[in-house]
Amino acid sequence: MGIDAIVWWLFAAVSVVGSLFAVLSPSIVRAVFSLLLAFGGVAGIYAVAGADFLAILQIVVYVGGVLVLIAFGILLTGRTAQALGEHEVKNRPLGILIAAGIFIGLLGALMKSSFKIGGNATNEPTTEAIGKLLLGDYIVAFEFASVFLLMALIGAAYLVRREEA
Amino acid sequence: MLLAQSWIPDLSAIFTQFAAEAVLCLAIPVIILADVFAGPARREKVAGLIGMGALVLAFVLALIQPADGVMLTKLLRADGLAKAFRLIAIATGVIAAVGAMRGEITKARTEFYVCLLGAVVGACLTAAANDLAMLYLAIETLSIAGYLLAGFRKDNAKSAEAAMKYVIFGAIASAIMLYGMTLVYGFAGTSTIATPEGMTYASIASEAATAAMSPAFLIAVVLVFAGLAYKIAAAPFQFWCPDVYEGAPTSVAAFLAVASKGAGFAVILRFFSAVTSGGDMTETLQAVLLIVALVTMTIGNLAALRQNNAKRLLAYSAIAHAGYLLVGVAVTNQAGATAVVFYMMVYLFMTLGAFYMVGIVERQTGRTDIDAYTGLGFRAPMFAACLAICLISLTGLPPTAGFPGKFFLFQQVFAHAGEQQSSLFFWGGVIGLLNGVISLGYYTRFLKVMYLCDRDQIPTGSFAFGGIDRGMVLMLTAPVLVLGIAFQGLRELADTLAKGIF
């Protein structure tokens, strides 16, 4: 096992443990901070795979944006300590069974299959290529994303706005 | 020229191939700016004017746009399928907008039109998408616009519940689909669905049939299909449908029932034509599609029998229709695709007509239960006759357009059963026909309360049905009758538009 593989497994373990804590923790604050581990671990996996731009995006958008937003949202609403503890999970054994079944099924099928898309083996910077794709082949999608975001913003602002009677 | 680098695509085609979408996209910032400068007094009127103007202009452009299959930077495809479902989406947008302006949406029309135009353009691009990334972006635009529109009645708790349920189910379905897409991308090595030379995924489909990869390939396709099944409200992803239709403004429910479903079917046709174009996996996928179709229509029809709420009833009817339409996809051939496009166009008229009339009753009585329709056959004969025509067509009986629609769909199933010696398809067709009989049970309940009620139960007071409402209802109902008899023209049109999909 090369150094790459060791680092990969390390990050994979971090993200799995983080996700498990996020799902299982009864405290919502701890769940949010466990997500930090999960997001960081995924960013690490991207980095090992040679997707440098994606790794940075993962940190900037998820850790820096989404996570901070969730944390502030929870801290500002006040009821933090036991917010999730009151919720009783029914059918836990059945849920675990189904999840495990899906996991084993997927694992078994995917272990036997071959992927045509591999990692960035040469470890070249990907930013330039991504930039060219975004403003080249994918320009329509890139521009349309702005229409989409504008619409989502206007709609969300409408839904949270308090109507003056 | 400095800009003329090889990686910059030629975008001049976008304004001829995708003029309708361009108009809709441009209208969104125009409405917002107009809102700022119009002032509070004229704000609603200006928004309505620009929004409706853009939709109508887009519809006209969509009619004359060529459908020659030109690829725009590999992301979008301007073929017949894109044209058919673009027309369906924009027409639905126009009718939903008229319904909304007559009814529930009196305030915040700027925001309503921004979301509606976003939803329409999302549906158009979903039908035209030829790349998994573009497809996902377009579907998400349609979905998020749908969430916003479903929750648009802020004073109504059910509307908020509808939006919330739609978001949660939608997020899960979206995640499942995205996972499936990454697997497909990984196996195929490309995110482009079709190239001018043929289907990109044909090669992996045929590889999958022979190699040990077949379970993984099947899982990937089923995962993508799961996300699309949510969009068309097919089993087992139909749970959101009745609650969302009930809580959402009626015109929005109509939009979700026709435009969202249509866009979903366009993708399903495109995607399955790509993955079934080679190899032995085709038979398995056909069986999966057929079984999902049968379960969906049976669940929808049986659940509808117990409904007393007109909007929930139409929701279950929409679920059942997703099942009927999937039958046309399950045969994975050209004739099946034609039948789906034909049925979708008929479905547009009868479903929008039914929803529009439910909206009229809701506006006048404030009720959506079936008893609100008591005696309408005597109080408003024209209205009741139109509703009866739409419902008979949804059942699939002659002389309405629903009959040739269902006939073409099930004709393909039995033809396929004969060709492939498939008893599954034969019995599938039989179950489908039985479903038509079940659906008679709940559609006729409307007819019963409208026409066969005790005279003394008929509420007094007038039922207003005139002006724009009457015009709209007649415009939607007349084609249901005319196409029930003279369907040859529409069938040829559907055949042209569906050409080259399989």
Contact B193, B187 (CB under 8 A): no
B8's CB contacts (< 8 A; 6+ apart) are A135, A136
Q: Chain A partners of B121 at a C-beta cutoff of 8 Å? A: 147
Bridge partners of B369, per DSSP, are B309
- Taking an 8 Å cut-off on Cβ atoms, the answer to whether A139 and B141 are in contact is no
Positive or negative, the CA dihedral B34, B40, B42, B43 is positive
pLDDT of res. B207: 63
Contact B302, B431 (CB under 8 A): no
Phi, psi (5° rounding) for residue B474?
-65, -40
Distance CA B391, CA B259 (A): 19
Bridge partners of B194, per DSSP, are B199
Bridge partners of B199, per DSSP, are B194
Least confidently predicted of A70-84, A142-156, B259-273, B479-493? A70-84
Give the side-chain half-sphere CA count within 13 A for B319: 32
B211-244 pLDDT tens trace: 656 788 888 889 999 999 999 999 888 889 999 9
Residue B3 has pLDDT above 60, yes or no: no
Distance CA B494, CA B502 (A): 14
pLDDT of res. B109: 87
**Chain B window 169-208: which residues touch A at a Cβ cutoff of 8 Å?**
183, 185-189
Distance between B71 CA and the closest CA of chain A, angstroms? 11
Tell me, yes or no, if B117 comes closer than 8 A to chain A by beta carbon. Answer: yes
Q: What average pLDDT does range B354-383 have in this prediction?
A: 90
Mean pLDDT, rounded, of chain B? 88
pLDDT of res. A109: 84
Is the bond into B29 cis (omega within 30 degrees of 0)? Answer: no
Distance CA A141, CA B55 (A): 21
Residue B73 has pLDDT above 80, yes or no: no
Distance CA B179, CA B186 (A): 11
pLDDT of res. B1: 43
A163 falls in which pLDDT band (50, 70, 90)?
confident
Helices (H), B39-131: 43-64, 80-102, 109-128
Residue B35 has pLDDT above 60, yes or no: yes
* Residue whose C-alpha is closest to residue B129's, from B91, B168, B169, B89: B89
B17 falls in which pLDDT band (50, 70, 90)?
confident
Nearest 10 degrees: Cα torsion B85, B259, B362, B476: 0
DSSP three-state, residue A100: helix
Query: Which 8-state DSSP code applies to residue A67?
Result: I
pLDDT of res. B279: 62
* Residue whose C-alpha is closest to residue B48's, from B65, B63, B31, B68: B31
Residue B366 has pLDDT above 90, yes or no: no
pLDDT of res. B212: 58
Q: What average pLDDT does range A71-86 have in this prediction?
A: 67
Q: What percent of chain B has pLDDT over 90?
A: 57
Residue B428 has pLDDT above 70, yes or no: yes
> Strands B198-199, B76-78: parallel, antiparallel or unpaired by DSSP?
unpaired
Contact B281, B342 (CB under 8 A): no
Helices (H), B309-333: 310-330
Angle in degrees, CA B140, B146, B149, rounded to 5: 145
ipTM confidence: 0.90
Q: What average pLDDT does range B344-353 have in this prediction?
A: 95
Q: Which residue is listed with tokens 């049905």?
A: B465
Structure tokens at B412: 């393909």
Q: Chain B partners of A133 at a C-beta cutoff of 8 Å? A: 7
* Residue whose C-alpha is closest to residue B255's, from B129, B439, B97, B397: B97
Interface test with B, best of A102, A151, A159, A162 (most B CBs within 10 A): A151
Q: Chain A partners of B14 at a C-beta cutoff of 8 Å? A: 140
Structure tokens at B444: 């006729």
B501's CB contacts (< 8 A; 6+ apart) are B79, B80, B81, B269, B270, B273, B334, B337
A7-53 pLDDT tens trace: 999 999 999 999 999 988 878 888 888 999 999 999 999 998 888 89
Distance CA B190, CA B75 (A): 12
Residue A71 has pLDDT above 90, yes or no: no
Least confidently predicted of A104-113, B278-287, B417-426, B476-485? B278-287
pLDDT of res. B473: 94
* Residue whose C-alpha is closest to residue B35's, from B25, B46, B51: B46
pLDDT of res. B387: 95
pLDDT of res. B216: 82
Structure tokens at B446: 């409307």
Rg (CA), chain A: 20
Phi, psi (5° rounding) for residue B487?
-95, -5
Interface test with A, best of B15, B140, B144, B166 (most A CBs within 10 A): B144
Distance between B114 CA and the closest CA of chain A, angstroms? 6
pLDDT of res. B210: 59
Question: Could you give the C-alpha distances from A113 to B82, B218, B219, B405, in angstroms and in order?
Answer: 33, 11, 11, 41
pLDDT, greater one: B213 or B406:
B406
B163-190 pLDDT tens trace: 999 999 999 999 999 999 998 888 877 8
* Residue whose C-alpha is closest to residue B341's, from B64, B139, B76, B79: B79
Q: Which residue ranges make up each domain of chain B?
A: 281-502
pTM confidence score: 0.92
pLDDT, greater one: B187 or B382:
B382
pLDDT of res. A148: 95
pLDDT of res. B16: 78
A114-127 pLDDT tens trace: 777 666 566 778 88
